[in-house]
Amino acid sequence: MEFQGLGRILVVVGSVILLLGIGFMFWDKIPFLGKLPGDIRVERENFRFYFPITTGIVISILVSVILWIVSHFRK
């Protein structure tokens, strides 16, 4: 049986979960995330709507660059 491949997958998945957990812990400490120009925020008395479109684009670009770098060095 091929347990080495399964072990690698579990390490990668565990690392991703760990990084996400750390990110969620410190999300409020990063001052500009969620408050960039282009993020939509509507607050009324009984209604709150928040759509972080610019923050989502920035995070997507960062993740894409990181994945490109990782795939570049794996070759």
pLDDT tens readout for residues 27-45: 777 777 778 888 898 999 9
Same-domain status, 73 and 38: yes
Asked whether residue 24 falls in the same domain as residue 37, the answer is no
pLDDT in tens, 45-55: 999 998 889 98
Domain count, the chain: 2
Question: Domain range holding 62?
Answer: 31-75
Residues 18 and 40 in one domain: no
Same domain, residue pair 11 and 36: no
- Same domain assignment for residues 6 and 21: yes
CB 55 within 8 A of CB 33: yes
User: Count of CB atoms within 10 A of residue 73's CB?
Assistant: 7
- Do 39 and 73 share a structural domain? yes
Is the CB of residue 42 less than 8 Å from the CB of residue 49? yes
pTM: 0.59
